Each structure stands twice: as structure tokens, then as C-alpha cells.
């Protein structure tokens, strides 16, 4: 069952409970009102009769006219009882005489209740004794209360219906907004980052829409950066293959051809074996140097054989020999050599890219590399590469593929990558990688 139907059922159930409770309160109040009104009428009539007949002895015709004057008092049924037991109706108010509609019997039974009968002895001037019987007749009061209860119940029903409709429309608008947001999330799932959510009149939904729109903007930027980085990586890979192919052709091809020619020449009887041998040895040494250089470019063997610390020291020595004006320092514990090879190769490439950027762009005189293994709250490897070069503005940080490539390497290990730089205040590359994975 959908949330819309669940809410409608709960609202309907609450509305029925409100109507039942309101009806019960209305019946209870009507019963109280009828009892109070009837009791007040009976007490008033009894007091008037006691007061009137206690002052003077009237003859029978006079006090009959006096009792008939009590017809203005409502809710009473008054009778006279002779000493012989005969009953004489003196006054009787009958509701509905003017065409009024009587309430239903169930309402009369709930509201009417039982009312006691009041007896008042009366003596005439000639000594006759009568008993005046005053009995409550609540039908006209019940009729009046029935009309008021019906009006109250109709008003309550209308208010409940209006409340139900207001809540229903409010939730309908909310569900429509949720449907729009869910549709936007589905588009994001499919990679459609250009579709934006509209503004909502509800503050909470509008905040969610703005957050989702900001997220899609960031995802779109990240997607564009990833595409550009992938294209750049493919171009670098193709350039590297072309360079290796050219180097293999120029160096290995020519050297092997020369060795083959010298070997053929050495087969002649008049050939200078000593000179040919020395030439072949020289060419072979050159080939070994070229192969080692190519292998170092493809993958540093010192990283596999001696570990990360030795590989970074070898890299720093390479740059220091080529740029003696740049002072390089390293702070690295021996424990980094025990790290996973997947982490060490990525850290080495990041350091390699950092040093390349420092040499090419920073115009720095000092650069430091620090590797630390932190223990709390979890074991992490922290890398910091800092220089005193010219730095750059924040808006130009993401323009280079080198920094973007370093960020991707660190994030591929589940780590965090940050850059701290200001113009003329150098740059610091900080990375933190979890080790317990």
C-alpha cells in the first residue's frame, strides 16, 4: 500500500473518531442541559404554588384560574387528585402541537432520563382537600436540544470534512513534489546531470531541490573532468607507445644491425677480431644502458627491489643531479617499505608528479617530502609534499591534469587529497590513505 493511501486511511479513521467523540459529547451535554432545565422548571412551579396558596385560602374557581396561569411555565404536566382519587388535568404542554417534528426515539431515550413527581397538598376555602401533582414533561426541551445537537453535529462534520480535504490536498502537493524529486534522482542515476529541479513553494523541498541541483553540478563537473583525464591518459599512453617504438627502432634496431654486421665481418679471415669484439662490447653496453633507461621509465625496479623509501631517494637524487639549485629533503620511516605494493606504486607516482611540477612550474629553491604512519583513530599513511615556490590562485588549481591525476590516484585507494596554496607562498600537497583495508 502506498504512503498516500496509508495517510488517507489514517486521516479518515481520525475523522470518524472525532465525529464519534463529538457526537458523544453532544449527547452528554444535551442530557445535562435537559435535566437541569426540567429540574429548574419543576422547582420553580412548586415554589410558585407553595407561595401562592400559603398566603390566602382561595375558592376552587379562583385557584383553578391561578394554576392555569402556570401554562407559561414550560416542561410541566400538572394534575389535581381529588380525595376520592380522581385525576383532573389542569395543564399539559404537548410538543409538536404547532407542527414541530419530534426527535427520534433513540435520542429521547439517551437524553430524557427519569424525573421524579412532585406532590403539593391544597385546601380550598370550603375545606376541600386536593393533591397537586407536578410531573416533568421534557419532550419540548429534548426537541430543542435535538435541533441544537443536529446543528452542532453538522458543523462538526463540515469542519472535519474541510480539515480532511485541507490535509489531503497538502499531502497531495507534498507527494507531487516527492515524485518530481524521485524522478530527478532517477535521471541522476542514469547520468543525466543537466536536468534541474524547479523551485518549490515549500521551504524544505526547495532546500532539497537546491542540494540536489548542487550535487548534479558537481557530478557533471566530475564527469567532465574524468572524461578529460581519460582522454589525456589515452593520449599520454599513445605518445608513450610511439616514443618507445621510436626508441626501439632507433636504438635497438640500429645497434642490433651494427652487431650483426660486425659478426658477419668477423667471419672473414682478414678481419680484425680484437677491434670487432671491442665494438660489439661497446654497442652491447650502450644497449644495456638504453634498456635500463626504458625499464626505469616504465617501472622503477628499485621500488620493487629495495622499497618505497629507496625509490623516493633515488628519484630525489635524479632531480638533484639535474637541478643542483633545488634543495630536497625527505622525512620517511623505514616502515613504509612494508606497505602494500598497490599503495607504494601510487604514492611513488604522486611524489614523482609532485617533483616534476615543482621543477617545471614552481620556481622553488626548497622542497620537502614527508611520509608518516598515523595510528589514531585508524592507521593511515600521510603524505605531504611542500615547496616554497610561487604557488597559484585557487581558481587555477584544477586546470592541470597532473593534479587531477594525483587526486584520482589517492581516491582510488579510498584516501583524501588536498591542496594548500597561495600566490608567492608555495604549495603543499597533502594526502591521507587508510591502511586497514
**pLDDT value at 142 more than 80:** no
Tell whether the torsion through CA atoms of 284, 285, 288 and 289 is positive or negative: negative
**Is residue 402 assigned to a domain?**
yes
* Number of domains observed in the structure of the chain: 2
CB 367 within 8 A of CB 358: yes
**Is residue 64 assigned to a domain?**
yes
Going by C-alpha positions, the residue among 119, 45, 116, 114 that lies closest to residue 76 is 45
Where does a domain end: 136, 169, 202?
169
**Is residue 418 assigned to a domain?**
yes
**Is residue 114 assigned to a domain?**
yes
Task: Identify the three-state secondary structure at position 197.
Answer: coil
CB 434 within 8 A of CB 414: yes
Residue 40 CB-half CA count within 13 A: 8
pLDDT score for 11: 78
**The CATH number of the domain where 328 resides is what?**
3.30.565.10
Q: Model confidence over 160-177: pLDDT tens digits?
A: 888 878 887 877 888 888
**Is residue 246 assigned to a domain?**
no
**pLDDT value at 100 more than 70:** no
Range of the domain at 119: 3-169
Task: Identify the three-state secondary structure at position 90.
Answer: strand
Q: Which H/E stretch holds residue 416? A: strand 416-421
CB 33 within 8 A of CB 145: yes
pLDDT score for 350: 92
CB 77 within 8 A of CB 69: no
Going by C-alpha positions, the residue among 344, 312, 349 that lies closest to residue 330 is 312
Where does a domain end: 122, 138, 169?
169
This prediction has a pTM of 0.49
Q: What's the whole-number average pLDDT of the chain?
A: 78
**Is residue 224 assigned to a domain?**
no
Q: Percentage of residues in the chain with pLDDT exceeding 70? A: 77
Q: Percentage of residues in the chain with pLDDT exceeding 90? A: 11
**Is residue 378 assigned to a domain?**
yes
Where does a domain end: 115, 143, 169?
169
Q: What mean pLDDT do residues 338-354 have? A: 89
If asked whether residues 165 and 305 sit together in one domain, one would say no
Q: What mean pLDDT do residues 325-354 have? A: 90
**Is residue 247 assigned to a domain?**
no
pLDDT score for 79: 67
If asked whether residues 306 and 163 sit together in one domain, one would say no
Amino acid at each position: 500500500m502506498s504512503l498516500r493511501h496509508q495517510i488517507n486511511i489514517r486521516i479518515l479513521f481520525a475523522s470518524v473518531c472525532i465525529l464519534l467523540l463529538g457526537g458523544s459529547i453532544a449527547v452528554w451535554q444535551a442530557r445535562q442541559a435537559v435535566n437541569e432545565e426540567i429540574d429548574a422548571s419543576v422547582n420553580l412551579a412548586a415554589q410558585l404554588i407553595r407561595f401562592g396558596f400559603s398566603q390566602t385560602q382561595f375558592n376552587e374557581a379562583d385557584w383553578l384560574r391561578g394554576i392555569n396561569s402556570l401554562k407559561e411555565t414550560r416542561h410541566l404536566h400538572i394534575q389535581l387528585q381529588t380525595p376520592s382519587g380522581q385525576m383532573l388535568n389542569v395543564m399539559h404542554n404537548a410538543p409538536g402541537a404547532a407542527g414541530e417534528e419530534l426527535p427520534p426515539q433513540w435520542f429521547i431515550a439517551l437524553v430524557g432520563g427519569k424525573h421524579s413527581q412532585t406532590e403539593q397538598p391544597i385546601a380550598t376555602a370550603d375545606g376541600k382537600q386536593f393533591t397537586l401533582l407536578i410531573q416533568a414533561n421534557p419532550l419540548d426541551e429534548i426537541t430543542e436540544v435535538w435541533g441544537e445537537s443536529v446543528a452542532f453535529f453538522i458543523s462538526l462534520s463540515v469542519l472535519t470534512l474541510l480539515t480532511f480535504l485541507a490535509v489531503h490536498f497538502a499531502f497531495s502537493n507534498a507527494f507531487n513534489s516527492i515524485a518530481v524529486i524521485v524522478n530527478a534522482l532517477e535521471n541522476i542515476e542514469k547520468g543525466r546531470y543537466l536536468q534541474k529541479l524547479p523551485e518549490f513553494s515549500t521551504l524544505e523541498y526547495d532546500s532539497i531541490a537546491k542540494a540536489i541541483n548542487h550535487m548534479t553540478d558537481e557530478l557533471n563537473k566530475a564527469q567532465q573532468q574524468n572524461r578529460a583525464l581519460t582522454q589525456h591518459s589515452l593520449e599520454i599512453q599513445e605518445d608513450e607507445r610511439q616514443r618507445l617504438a621510436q626508441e626501439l627502432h632507433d636504438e635497438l634496431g640500429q645497434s642490433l644491425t651494427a652487431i650483426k654486421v660486425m659478426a658477419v665481418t668477423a667471419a672473414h679471415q682478414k678481419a680484425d677480431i680484437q677491434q670487432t669484439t671491442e665494438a660489439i662490447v661497446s654497442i652491447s653496453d650502450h644497449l644495456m644502458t638504453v634498456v635500463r633507461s626504458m625499464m626505469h621509465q616504465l617501472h622503477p625496479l628499485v621500488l620493487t627491489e629495495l622499497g618505497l623509501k629507496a625509490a623516493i631517494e633515488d628519484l630525489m637524487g635524479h632531480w638533484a643531479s639535474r637541478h643542483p639549485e633545488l634543495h630536497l629533503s625527505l622525512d620517511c620511516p623505514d616502515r613504509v617499505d612494508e606497505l602494500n605494493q598497490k599503495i607504494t606504486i601510487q604514492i611513488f607516482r604522486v611524489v614523482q608528479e609532485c617533483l616534476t611540477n615543482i621543477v617545471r612550474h614552481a620556481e622553488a629553491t626548497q622542497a620537502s617530502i614527508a611520509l608518516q604512519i598515523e595510528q589514531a583513530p585508524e592507521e593511515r599513511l600521510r603524505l605531504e609534499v611542500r615547496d616554497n615556490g610561487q604557488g597559484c590562485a585557487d581558481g587555477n588549481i584544477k586546470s592541470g591534469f597532473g593534479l587531477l591525476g594525483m587526486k584520482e590516484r589517492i581516491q582510488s585507494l579510498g584516501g583524501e587529497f588536498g591542496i594548500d596554496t597561495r600566490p608567492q607562498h608555495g604549495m603543499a600537497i597533502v594526502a591521507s590513505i587508510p591502511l586497514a583495508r
